[in-house]
Amino acid sequence: MTGARKTIVLLCAIILGYGVSAFAEIERFRAKEGDAIEVWRITNDPTVRDHANYHNMQCWSPDGRYLCFTHYASDGRQFGSTSAAEVHLYDLHEEKDVKIDKGTNPRWANKHNWLFYLRYRSADGPRYGRGTQVMWKNVETGETMRIGYGIERLKYTDCDDRWLYGYGIRGPKEEQRKPLRVTIAPDSTVETLPGDWQVGYNSLMVNPNHPMIVSRDHNYRDYYYASEGARDIPFVARHFFDHDLSGQNRTKPFPTMDGSHFSWVGDGSYFLLGNGQMRGKKWDEPFPSNINFLAAISSGDVSPCGRSGRWICGDSGVAQIRVADLRSGDGWAVMETNSYLCFPTNRDYSGPYDIDLKGSPDGTKIAFISTYDQKDGPVARITEEATGDVIRVESTTGFPEKGRLINASGFGGEVLSYERKTEKTFEGLARGLYETSKDARLRKGQPLTSFEAMLIPKELRKDLPLQASGIRSIIKDKDSPLLLQRSSDLYTVVVRLPDRPHLRRAGEEIQLIPGENHWETYCYHLFKNNEKITDSLVRPGGSFELPGKGAYTAVAVEWSGLKSKPSLPLRIRRRAAVKVLSDKPADFSWTRERRVVGDDGIAVETVHLHDGVIRRSWHRGGELVKRHDLNAEGKATRRLFYRDGKLAKREYHDRNGYHVSTELFDADGYITESIQHGSRPRHWWYEKGVPLKYTRGSDAYVKDGERWIKTR
């Protein structure tokens, strides 16, 4: 960025009401493992935690230009206090980090570049009252307004951006948190939604595209069917219900037997359940309802990846990023981030290092946080389970000759040291350093990282404030090197390129049609015979004069600068004007159908303009009998079978051909059996959405009235 441009951008930031911005250019590099196109480091300060919201809380602006995050700055004594925390925006277009205000809980509207956050003013009153201000910043105009007071935690806006939801304590003597909403207008009155249900984690999951909400009722404990304090009945059984935007018309709370870490898919079509094979319930089917498998891959946290609803993303393993394409049911691992913190306990304190991933509006990028240096931190993958004094790995490149390793097993993990290394071994081990678990397994295929690379560099430790109080409550030894582990930085991984636009003739006019997903598109460049002919930006809604005979193509450019592949060429014989459309015309389709004859008889293929055959269907006697949804390699990853024209069986197969799951349906469309295949198959039986029986391996459980009992 030139000095003149920096000056102009800074003046614009001041005019729009931003704090002084830092010109933090994106650092781009390739991931050490996996198929990611590129990784972008957005922030780079190992002393301060940057957090871009929980996994189901969007950090991307609706147009994909900005990322919001909380910067947990020091108050002079320690990191992590809300009084010193700052709300930041990172502008991917200008590559600058902008401090918006002191505060927490940055949240985006669904359809506008409106940012909401909490600002704390203790002198104005208590936290549950005027001491907490709900702020609204219009990022397009720079205007900032207060819309209410006293919300403890912000959640989401409704699908039309009329209300902002959250929860908080109502009054100094009330102990229960209440569901709240506030009209998005200056100094509005905060409403308390009706009902005696308790709110908290996973409450007020507002649908991004439909006027309804799914909420968890915290009156029902986790492991509801188990004995108090035990897990003898192994279902988490978190109770959910649907309600309208005013909190009325509530359905009866119903348990989701397994799964946690819930989210909406980007278009609001499915309510997603994490911690298992990617699955969800349709938005307009109230509980109890079908829990549908959506892809042939599992995840822990699950998150939206794009506004279209085609993709979702999740994590697994040592913070591995996974993506599922719901068009085909395919799923794949993108990269392993190795975000982790070692603690002297095996309890779940994963919050500070959870990657909390979520995809950008067009599903081209995934934002995540990581405590481990994605560019320079070395990684060694174990090649066989280690039980003695030697660990065999694929490579020890990048590790010191003598040093310490992180074995990210379970929640607390292990720090271990080695006396020497070879090209493919670490030798002379000492296990369980700093009171970490010495019994953690060193499994084949598991990554090891460098404890030295995980530590804050020595030059940054002088006069360093204390770690956050939450970390110090876990690591009680004030001299432990565990207190010097890095805090999280914000990254983005590019998982696919933007969708290609399309050029076509429409009478005397040439039309540039935006790609299938184009919420993030900033402009286009046009090419004649592979030579760029646009010096200035061509924006949606504009036009451009094509200079004459030739083969023309167009490339879409995101706000982030990420470019699509060229469109299919359009040949013209004379000068013509091209009109840049903002959306797809009603008479244009990205797909067409064709009939083909094969070994299974006559099939109807759905052919995508760029992706080729994406679906193949077979009919008999005029009725659909079978359908295959195909992945990018042409493999049938989702296979549907029909009886009397109705869905009777659905199978998922991964890209290696392994049969992952089977679901059976009755004539009314309800799932009757759901089977996950594997070494210990999981099998559910249902009646009209209500689970009746479950087996896993040799264990079996059945519903007995309002209880569940173990039968073997």
Query: What average pLDDT does this structure show over 49-67?
Result: 96
Encoded tokens for 462: 């002088």
Residue 647 pLDDT > 70, yes or no?
A: yes
> Which among 136, 168, 130 is positioned nearest to 152, based on CA atoms?
168
String of b and e for 356-388 (b: at least 16 CB within 10 Å)?
A: bbbbbbbbbbbbbbbbbbbeebbbbebeeebee
Each residue's pLDDT tens digit, 213-266: 999 998 899 999 999 888 999 999 999 999 999 999 999 999 999 878 999 999
pLDDT of 22 reads 59
- Dihedrals phi, psi of 91, to nearest 5 degrees: -90, 105
Peptide bond into 288 cis (omega under 30): yes
Query: What average pLDDT does this structure show over 265-277?
Result: 97
- CA gap 386, 443 in Å, rounded: 7
> Which among 187, 152, 147 is positioned nearest to 166, based on CA atoms?
152
pLDDT of 315 reads 96
Encoded tokens for 404: 């310490």
- CA gap 638, 620 in Å, rounded: 20
pLDDT of 172 reads 56
> Which among 365, 366, 302, 369 is positioned nearest to 340, based on CA atoms?
369
DSSP alpha helix (H) spans, 348-422:
none
Number of separate helices (H) and strands (E) present in the chain = 3, 56
Distances, alpha carbon 584 to alpha carbons 164, 555, 567, in Å: 31, 16, 15
> Which among 383, 361, 367, 378 is positioned nearest to 334, based on CA atoms?
367
In order, the DSSP letters of 177-229 are EEEEEEESSTTPPEEEPPSS----TT--EE-SSSS-EEEE-TTSPSSTTSPTT
pLDDT of 207 reads 98
pLDDT of 625 reads 96
Grade residue 17 by pLDDT with cuts at 50, 70 and 90: very low
- CA gap 74, 47 in Å, rounded: 10
Residue 20 pLDDT > 80, yes or no?
A: no
pLDDT of 390 reads 97
Query: What average pLDDT does this structure show over 419-448?
Result: 96
pLDDT of 507 reads 86
- Dihedrals phi, psi of 635, to nearest 5 degrees: -90, 145
Instruction: Report which residue type is found at 423.
Output: E
Query: What average pLDDT does this structure show over 437-455?
Result: 95
- CA gap 605, 117 in Å, rounded: 49
Instruction: Report which residue type is found at 672.
Output: T
Cβ neighbours of residue 1 closer than 8 Å, sequence gap 6 or more? 9, 23, 25, 94, 95
Encoded tokens for 486: 């890095």
Instruction: Report which residue type is found at 608.
Output: H
- Dihedrals phi, psi of 472, to nearest 5 degrees: -65, -25
**Region for residue 68 given its phi and psi (left: phi exceeds 0; alpha: psi -120 to 50; beta: otherwise):** beta
String of b and e for 450-476 (b: at least 16 CB within 10 Å)?
A: bbbbbbbeeeeeeeebebbeebeebbe
Each residue's pLDDT tens digit, 77-134: 999 999 999 999 999 999 999 999 999 999 999 999 999 999 999 999 988 889 999 9
Please, what are the domains in the chain?
Answer: 3-375+489-494 (2.130.10.10), 379-453+463-484 (no CATH), 502-580 (2.60.40), 591-710 (3.90.930)
- CA gap 325, 334 in Å, rounded: 13
Is 651 strand, coil or helix?
Answer: strand
Query: What average pLDDT does this structure show over 437-461?
Result: 95
Each residue's pLDDT tens digit, 542-596: 999 999 999 999 999 999 999 999 999 999 999 999 999 999 999 999 999 999 9
Query: Please, are residues 232 and 223 in contact by the beta-carbon 8 Å criterion?
Result: no
Encoded tokens for 573: 């014989």
pLDDT of 13 reads 44
Is 460 strand, coil or helix?
Answer: helix
pLDDT of 12 reads 41
Cβ neighbours of residue 609 closer than 8 Å, sequence gap 6 or more? 502, 568, 590, 591, 592
Distances, alpha carbon 685 to alpha carbons 294, 333, 490, in Å: 18, 30, 43
Encoded tokens for 199: 């709110």
Instruction: Report which residue type is found at 496.
Output: R
Encoded tokens for 689: 């959405």
Each residue's pLDDT tens digit, 276-307: 999 999 999 988 999 999 999 999 999 999 99
Q: How many residues in the chain?
A: 712
Is 255 strand, coil or helix?
Answer: strand
DSSP alpha helix (H) spans, 401-505:
451-454, 469-474
- CA gap 34, 379 in Å, rounded: 13
Which 8-state DSSP code applies to residue 287? S
Tally Cβ neighbours within 10 Å of residue 227. 9
Grade residue 21 by pLDDT with cuts at 50, 70 and 90: low
Residue 18 pLDDT > 70, yes or no?
A: no
- CA gap 444, 391 in Å, rounded: 10
Grade residue 208 by pLDDT with cuts at 50, 70 and 90: very high
Query: Please, are residues 258 and 223 in contact by the beta-carbon 8 Å criterion?
Result: no
Query: What average pLDDT does this structure show over 523-528?
Result: 97
Residue 8 pLDDT > 60, yes or no?
A: no
Compute CA 515 distance to the chain's CA centroid, rounded to the nearest angstrom. Answer: 22
Query: Please, are residues 559 and 92 in contact by the beta-carbon 8 Å criterion?
Result: yes
In order, the DSSP letters of 302-349 are EEEESTTSSEEEEEETTTEEEEEETTTTEEEEEEE-------SS-S--
Average pLDDT of the chain is: 93
pLDDT of 175 reads 67
- CA gap 552, 544 in Å, rounded: 12
Q: Identify the weakest region by mean pLDDT among 190-204, 260-274, 290-304, 420-434.
A: 190-204
pLDDT of 173 reads 55
H/E segment holding residue 416: strand 414-421
String of b and e for 612-641 (b: at least 16 CB within 10 Å)?
A: ebbbbbbbeeeebbbbbbbbeeebbbbbbb
Pairing of β 292-299 and β 276-282: antiparallel
Query: What average pLDDT does this structure show over 22-35?
Result: 87
pLDDT of 201 reads 78
Grade residue 608 by pLDDT with cuts at 50, 70 and 90: very high
Which 8-state DSSP code applies to residue 481? G
